[in-house]
Structure 1
Amino acid sequence: MMNTMTLDGYTAVIRYNPETDEFRGEIQGLNGGADFYGKNPQELRREFKASLDFFIEMCEKHGRAVRKPASGKFVVRLPPDLHQAATTVAQAEGISLNALMERAVRHELSDAAA
């Protein structure tokens, strides 16, 4: 189960805080931080919208992009034996190691969404 909530193309990661008996959402991929709190799903949705609307309004006011630009690049460190095995599979399939890793990540994300 993914602890996320989506609104207007934006996704927030939701975590429960037992000390305050409330949920906290943190909107992902923004060019800055925006979070919100709620005791139940209805409250979370309402506060998500309010927080996102406020963040977008402030970005427009200050001439800033709302979303953080994504480069599409990241470094993956693997144990040597896993790296070698992945390289061998990629070569055997006639694809790049990058293409194999992209396929693996897509597979994991599709499993997580199910």
Structure 2
Amino acid sequence: MSTMTHDGYIATLEIDEHAGIMHGRVVNAHAVLTFEGRTVKELRRAFADTITDYRDWCRQRGVEPQKPYSGTLSLRIDPVLHRRVAEKAATAGESINKFISDRLAEVA
């Protein structure tokens, strides 16, 4: 599946060949945000407009718009696994955060 990004927001894209139009859906916002265009240029513009509209909508209602992911992840794991990860990270000369981040990057 194709994706597009704008200002930290990520959208998945689909093509409707019969209608001759491309659809996008923002995946990292709690609100349902969609957009469409007949060309890539139109699609990019519609995506940007959708994000602007979303922020305006939130501002008008006094709501904080969901921001793209911060890079902080809280994770609960079994204590035995925690110890094993800590030992592996220490052996590699890395912090636990760096060790886990590197492992996740390998599979993402």
- Structure 1 segment 1-114 matched on structure 2, within 5 A: 3-7=2-6, 9-18=7-16, 20-68=19-67, 70=69, 72-75=72-75, 89-105=88-104, 107-108=105-106
Q: Deviations over 1:36-90 (max 9, x none)?
A: 112220110121122122111110100111124857225488xxxxxx6x66642
The answer for the alignment partner of 1:81 in structure 2 is none
Point out where structure 2 has 5 or more consecutive residues left out of the alignment.
78-83
User: Residue 14 of structure 1 contacts residue 23 of structure 1 at CA under 8 Å; is this kept in 2?
Assistant: no
- Would you say how many aligned residue pairs link Structure 1 and Structure 2? 103
Taking structure 2 as the reference length, the TM-score comes to 0.63
Alignment CA distance shift 1:46-1:12 (3 Å) = same
- The structure showing larger relative contact order (alpha-carbon pairs under 8 Å, at least 6 residues apart) is 1
Determine what percentage of the aligned residue pairs are the same residue: 23
Separation in 2 of the partners of 1:3 and 1:75? 29
Q: RMSD of the TM alignment (CA)?
A: 3.7
User: Residue 12 of structure 2 contacts residue 24 of structure 2 at CA under 8 Å; is this kept in 1?
Assistant: yes
